[in-house]
């Protein structure tokens, strides 16, 4: 399971002109589910996202997690995070999980974050979405439950 996590001042997602989810201060999380991912990947990644110390404390140092700093998470499904562009010019998505299984794990990830006490907004799985945000810092972190980077 892969995630691109961005610290944001605000973020929102629209589908067909309708706002489905929005947050103020918090994290925008793009989530990709790989073949072979399971419940343990969901738990590990949700814990990592909720506890990443990337918010500033009173001294201006990145010492606080989302749980400590407060704020929400906007989670967007994004199978393209599993793209393999090492060969040729057209990416391969052969490592991305099939939609039914991926949706189940995406929903489990959202539930894990909520279980940790976070307010979570989300887009619509498999929809064409317009995501708007203001990255603060900018801070962008890449995470992978298989720790490939």
Active site residues: 78-80
Instruction: For the chain, list the strands marked E by DSSP.
Output: 2-15, 18-23, 26-32, 55-56, 62-64, 72-77, 119-122, 130-144
Q: What are phi and psi of 31, to 5 degrees?
A: -125, 125
């Amino acid at each position: 399971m892969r995630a691109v996590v961005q610290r944001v001042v605000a973020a929102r997602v629209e589908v067909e002109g309708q706002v489905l989810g929005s947050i103020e201060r918090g994290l925008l999380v793009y989530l990709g589910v790989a073949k072979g991912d399971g419940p343990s990947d969901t738990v590990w990644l949700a814990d990592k996202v909720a506890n990443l110390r990337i918010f500033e404390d009173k001294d201006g140092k990145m010492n606080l997690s989302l749980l400590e700093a407060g704020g929400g998470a906007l989670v967007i499904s994004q199978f393209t995070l599993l793209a393999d562009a090492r060969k040729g010019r057209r990416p391969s998505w052969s490592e991305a999980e099939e939609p039914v299984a991926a949706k189940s794990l995406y929903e489990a990830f959202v539930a894990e974050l909520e279980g940790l006490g976070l307010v979570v907004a989300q887009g619509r799985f498999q929809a064409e979405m317009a995501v708007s945000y203001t990255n603060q810092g900018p801070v962008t972190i890449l995470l992978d439950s298989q720790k490939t980077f």
